[in-house]
Amino acid sequence: MLSSSASATLRGIDGQRVQVEVHVVTGVLPSFSVVGLPDASCREARDRVRAAINSNGFKWPSQARVTVNLAPSQVRKEGAGLDLAIALGVIAASTLDEKQAERELDEGGVRQPEHQRLPPELLGGHGFVAELGLDGSLRSVPGILSRVAAIDDLAVVVAPEAAHEATLAGAEKVRCCASLRQVVDCLKGIEAWPDHPPIPTLDHRRHVPDLADVAGHPFARQALEIAAAGGHNLLLVGPPGAGKSMLAKRLPGIMPDMENEVALITSRVHSVAGLGIPNDSLLRVPPFRAPHHSASMTALIGGGSGRLRPGEISCAHGGVLFLDELGEFAPGALDAMRQPLEDGSVHISRAHASVRYPARFCLVAAMNPCPCGLLGSVEPCRCNEQSRQRYMRRLSGPLLDRIDLRVHMQRPSANQLMSSDKGESSQSVRARVLAARAKAHTRGFPSNSLIPAGQLDEFAPISDAGRSMLKGALADGRLSARGLARVRMVARTIADLADEDTVSETSIASALALRARPVLFDSLGVTHV
């Protein structure tokens, strides 16, 4: 007998609807085959489904050939999210229709018990997305948000812990059950569909560190505010203990909440990556991702030999990617970020699949001035010239050219550290950032860093004095063509924070000062950054 039901798999961060067809033929040598380009975890459903069916009081069809077809066949199926649909399909396809039942009774057979019957037509109005435990329990799977969105025209059955996330996908109806037996009873009307677990009310900014905790560093705080207001990339250079990481972790607290479209995309990325999202809503606070410097290129950019997974740059979409100890990252991994920093997305191609992940993030990098970290500080540097040069060569000029703001930090003084006076809070800084972002929105851009270079004359016009200043920087080799455009974007942000309609010479000068090479670069002969 044949049964059919709907489920979904993942293609990148998007869901792909899958029709699960199950065919059961009795009276032949027993077998169980899954076709339709399944991956290893899909093929392993044979054992999970068999154990779940037997554990929940159903009888596995003996002396039967069970064939599961996952359509469309040209799309690779990944993960265990199809388990529930396969199990229900086997139960339904094993159910005898009335003519078959009468024929068996005439031949002296035993009628199939009612509790083991599931008419195939009951599966038609539902989609099923859940992994099965060996005891028949339903478990959530990564990418629920995207999977449910692919079948939102049906009532979708998921595990209880996935119910709230599934609801965020805009599905018409979301059902949750704890076990395979409960799903069957609810489909047959024996039991009512359970209510969703209660949604806790959360304050998502409660655990975001406050900028008031940072002592001193007025120049670095200004750069952080500009980065938040314009979406600009930031490099912090300084000795250990200067407060680089402390500043970087407070950047999401002064950034505006993500808009609906960005929040949905970022939530889907986090769901697919298995990072989870809040129970009560989409991700709203900009994410903060801080991979260790030992992270591989695949971990940063995304990919993998089997299932293509989003990397850290995609998980930071709409938020902050913090690379601490920038000089310790593999040069190849750092250079692989150059294209995503420009395009706001990353395209990953493999022999079996090709996906595009979003990657529009604010890069904040921190590094020591040298391997020992003491260059330029009170304590003498213990590194020789060769080791310092080797340390700096790990950073390519094209990557540094994409970083708009460069700040050289020193350790705060004893008076600053011991002072009881608090700095300006994140809340007050965030108010100015929101006002500057609102000005960018009036121009049609989420942030000034997204203004196309060809439209800078329209949205960031500069005076003759400012133009002469930029020409001098270009003539001296301090700016590239890309650097010129980025300086103008930063100047536009500085003017917005000052509530100025035009970009003044002062704003240009400030932008150039913030883009200036740190002293350590000059000491090592590094140019064109």
pLDDT confidence of residue 370? 84
What is the distance in angstroms between the CA of the first residue and the CA of the last residue of the chain?
69
Provide the token pair at 447: 């942030």
Q: Is the pLDDT of residue 101 over 90?
A: no
Segment 248-252 shows an average pLDDT of: 94
Q: What percent of the chain has pLDDT over 90?
A: 54
**Spans of all domains in the chain:** 2-187, 211-443
pLDDT confidence of residue 97? 53
pLDDT confidence of residue 377? 72
Segment 313-340 shows an average pLDDT of: 93
Higher-confidence residue of 157 and 116: namely: 157
pLDDT confidence of residue 490? 95
Q: Is the pLDDT of residue 386 over 60?
A: yes
Segment 350-370 shows an average pLDDT of: 89
Q: What is the mean pLDDT of the chain?
A: 87
Where residue 491 falls among pLDDT bands split at 50, 70, 90? very high
Q: What long-range pairs does 204-208 form, CB within 8 A, spacing at least 24?
A: 204/278, 204/281, 204/284, 204/285, 205/253, 205/285, 208/250, 208/252, 208/253, 208/285, 208/426
Q: Is the pLDDT of residue 400 over 90?
A: no
Where residue 498 falls among pLDDT bands split at 50, 70, 90? very high
Where residue 100 falls among pLDDT bands split at 50, 70, 90? low
Name the amino acid, one letter, at 258.
M
211-443 CATH choice from 3.10.105.10, 2.60.40.10, 3.40.50.300, 3.30.420.40: 3.40.50.300
User: At the top level of CATH, which class does the domain 2-187 belong to?
Assistant: alpha beta
Determine the Cα–Cα distance for residues 431 and 194; give it in Å rounded to an integer: 44
Where residue 526 falls among pLDDT bands split at 50, 70, 90? very low
Q: Is the pLDDT of residue 223 over 90?
A: yes
237 contacts 277 by C-beta, under 8 angstroms: no
As to burial, measured by CB atoms within 10 angstroms (0-12 exposed, 13-18 middle, 19+ buried), residue 274 is: exposed
Residue 399 CB partners (closer than 8 Å, separation 6+): 334, 335, 337, 338
Where residue 525 falls among pLDDT bands split at 50, 70, 90? very low
Question: Do the domains at 2-187 and 211-443 have one common CATH topology?
Answer: no
Q: What percent of the chain has pLDDT over 70?
A: 91
Q: Of 358-372, 392-406, 445-459, where does mean pLDDT reach its minimum?
A: 392-406
Higher-confidence residue of 124 and 523: namely: 124
Residue 1 CB partners (closer than 8 Å, separation 6+): 23, 24, 92, 93, 94, 95, 96, 97, 100, 120
158 contacts 174 by C-beta, under 8 angstroms: yes
